[in-house]
Amino acid sequence: MRLTRLQIEIIRDVVLRCLGEGTGLWLFGSRSDDRRRGGDVDLYLEIPSRKPLREILRCKSELEEKLDLHVDLLAKAPGEDKPIFRIAREEGVRL
């Protein structure tokens, strides 16, 4: 995984504050692979209750500002089921 401890702490703090306790958090994509270089931060979130899109976008914006990196969020609300959610969770690294 190509994130520092500080970056992980920032991600956890921002996600918890923006989306609430109980939000599952995984890093997937190129940053989860030590053999790759560069890339944005791809995060898969399992949100325990539905949130307005503006709250998810506020979280993304704050993460980008604090990390100084591009962040992609893939957010799963209760009851949603798409193959990409399963793939991100299975191939990702839990933060």
pLDDT for the residue 46: 96
Q: Per-residue DSSP letters for 49-73?
A: S---HHHHHHHHHHHHHHHTS-EEE
Q: What homologous superfamily does CATH list for 5-94?
A: Beta Polymerase, domain 2 (3.30.460.10)
pLDDT for the residue 19: 94
Residue stretches of the chain with pLDDT short of 70: 38
CA–CA separation, 17 and 70 (whole Å): 19
CA–CA separation, 1 and 48 (whole Å): 25
> So where are the chain's domains?
5-94
pTM of the model: 0.89
Give residues with Cβ within 8 angstroms of 37, minimum separation 6. 30
56 φ/ψ angles, rounded to the nearest 5 degrees: -65, -40
